[in-house]
Structure 1
């Protein structure tokens, strides 16, 4: 499915200028139809999956309580 630059920026939570810069740098593949760039959204599937996993891992890490230190009660 092809999306415009603004739709892609919204999906990736990036500014439109950054998406355009990535297109010009070749980091995002796009087709120019004479008026605007069209971007195939399938190229971001892996990126979005990895981003979702990273967010879940960070949330799990942040919600994990700090274990008690075993040496705290040890008074030599």
Structure 2
């Protein structure tokens, strides 16, 4: 499925200006149909999968209990 730059910016939650900059840098592929640039939605699937995996790993890390250190002394 193809999207316009405006639709893709909303889908990716970034500004059209930033999206255009990524396109100009060659980080995002586009197709020009003669009147507008179109982006294939499928090229972002891997990005979103990696983002979800990173969120899960971060959440696991946050929920991990802090181990007691053997070097900590109770000086009360």
Task: Please tell me the TM-score bracket, short chain as reference.
Answer: 0.7 to 0.9
Secondary structure of 1:27's counterpart equals coil
Q: Distance in 2 between matches of 1:13 and 1:61?
A: 26
Q: TM-score when scaled to structure 2?
A: 0.78
Q: What's the secondary structure of 2:20's corresponding residue? A: helix
Matched residue pairs, number?
75
Q: Deviations 1:11-30 (Å, cap 9, x if unpaired)?
A: 22222111111112221111
TM-score by length of structure 1 reads 0.78
In 2, Cα distance between equivalents of 1:11 and 1:61: 28
Query: What are the ranges of 5 or more consecutive residues in structure 1 without an aligned counterpart?
Result: none
1: distance between equivalents of 2:60 and 2:30? 36
Partner of 2:26: 26
Equivalent position SS for 2:31: strand
The answer for unaligned runs of 5 or more in structure 2 is none
Alpha-carbon distance in 1 for matches of 2:71, 2:7: 54
